[in-house]
Structure 1
Amino acid sequence: MLRSWTRLDNLAISVVLSVLVSGVATALCAAIVHARTDARAANCLNNPLFLYHWLLNYQSEHGHPPPAVMFDSEGRPMHSWRAVVWAYGSPEFAARYDFSEPWNSPANLAAAQPVPVDLWCHNSQNSPACSTNYAAILDGDRCSLDSAGQGGPNKRRIVIVEVPDSTILWTEPRDVTLEEIARFPPPHDPGGLAAVFSDGSYRRLSIQEILAPEILDHWTRHLKAARAKKSPDR
């Protein structure tokens, strides 16, 4: 004997459908968030390659990498190497930015906006506007930029490193020291911080790997040798 359809049956079906729709929506949202996170992570790893590309272009034309900081005739810091090399790849930026004025003049601060998408990491949400997440490494008067374009697979040296939650404005003549790297907050990506090496390769490294004695010792010895070659009288 068939029973009649009741409101209770309608309610039960509505509940089941609601649960199914909610589950599908939750799964879709989780998939979208995961995909966006993966995309941001890939961008954070790949972005510094554009900076490294223009760094090599500058080096090819001038015969040497740019200084980490451009100074004026009175020894005042004026511009970052990032602004110098980016002008090679962006005629629009080069036309707006005035290298005769300091980086923080009103005109140049306006010219630096917005920060190029290739110079910041989308996973670093705590960085202020116009900041960059990529910097050279400084050790006294030595700079990792001097290693650009040198070394094979067994002699790679870090040239550019990711700076999590950076407060460095991208045209600001400021980079990071080994001491500052040791105080970095935990990387947003579980694989570590993006790093570009002197042979053009790139991968993620933990803070401990960046500061590993074997990496730093080889890097420091190379830069000392490069400096001695440039100044044999010292």
Structure 2
Amino acid sequence: MKQIGLALYNYHEVYKEFPPAYTVDEHGKPLHSWRTLILPFIDQQMLYQKIDLSKPWDDPTNAEAFKTVVPVYQCPSVKPEPSMTTYLAVTGDNTCLRPARSLKQEEVTDGTNKTLAVVDVNPKHAVHWMSPHDADLVLLLGLSQEKDSLQHTGGYHTLLFDGSVRFLSINIQESIIRALVSATGNEEVGEF
């Protein structure tokens, strides 16, 4: 997860904004995820160059990339099926990784050390690494109900936008989760 955090930071250094949760075509249909956009920053420039960003992630044109396993996107303690990932961005209108919209670091008024970027979810929620589908607040709040099927006892790993990795207990208060998801709500998070 730390490598993903570094990649997000480096993406921001180059483009002066975080990647969107996903890109869209002229009709608003999702094309590619943030995971595709940060490939050059995780030493996957050659793979990135094979992807036609004007076509959907699962278009036959992108079949070679589609079949590729990207180890950075797989939790070392739990291996989902090849090409799948349990590392999902926290997406929504008030998050850092927003659908079809990029956010600058200075817009993260809650602080990058108090804003979730990525969560390591139960393998049943795994998606293809190229997929523009990720986690929303509803999925995140539901993780506490999955205590018997979590891959890590007692909680789940998260990546904050400052690049730090934190373990969140399944017993964390809902108000804290809501505050951590928000990038611009100015909520008080406190200790977590």
- Give the TM-score taking structure 2 as reference length: 0.77
Deviates more, 1:72-81 or 1:84-93: 84-93
Paired residue type of 2:140? I
2:167 is equivalent to residue 213 of structure 1: no
Taking the aligned partners of 1:79 and 1:58, their CA distance within structure 2 comes to: 16
Paired residue type of 1:205? L
Taking the aligned partners of 1:161 and 1:55, their CA distance within structure 2 comes to: 14
Structure 1 counterpart SS, 2:166: strand
Paired residue type of 2:67? Q
| Deviations 1:172-228, CA, capped at 9 Å, x for gaps | 00111121123333321215211111222112112332x6313423653x4246xxx
Q: 1:109/1:206 Cα in 2 relative to 1: closer, same or farther (>3 Å)?
A: farther
Q: Which residue is 1:229 aligned to? A: none
Structure 2 counterpart SS, 1:176: coil
Q: Which runs of 4+ in 1 moved over 4 A?
A: 146-150
Match of 1:74 among 18, 21, 27: 27
Taking the aligned partners of 1:167 and 1:109, their CA distance within structure 2 comes to: 19
Paired residue type of 2:11? Y
Taking the aligned partners of 2:121 and 2:104, their CA distance within structure 1 comes to: 19
2:141 is equivalent to residue 182 of structure 1: yes
Where does structure 1 lack aligned partners over 5 or more consecutive residues? 1-47, 226-234
Q: 1:204/1:148 Cα in 2 relative to 1: closer, same or farther (>3 Å)?
A: farther
Paired residue type of 2:164? S
Match of 1:143 among 95, 98, 109: 95
Q: Which residue is 2:59 aligned to? A: 105
Match of 1:116 among 59, 70, 74: 70
Structure 1 counterpart SS, 2:119: strand
- Give the TM-score taking structure 1 as reference length: 0.64
| Percent identical | 26
Paired residue type of 1:157? T
Taking the aligned partners of 2:96 and 2:153, their CA distance within structure 1 comes to: 25
Q: 1:108/1:87 Cα in 2 relative to 1: closer, same or farther (>3 Å)?
A: farther
Structure 2 counterpart SS, 1:142: coil
| Deviations 1:95-143, CA, capped at 9 Å, x for gaps | 2212122100123232133321110124335x3331111111124x222
2:174 is equivalent to residue 223 of structure 1: no
Instruction: Indicate the structure (1 or 2) with the bigger Cα radius of gyration.
Output: 1
For CA contacts below 8 A with separation 6 or more, give which structure has more relative contact order. Answer: 2
- Please give the root-mean-square deviation of Cα atoms over the aligned residues, in Å: 2.5
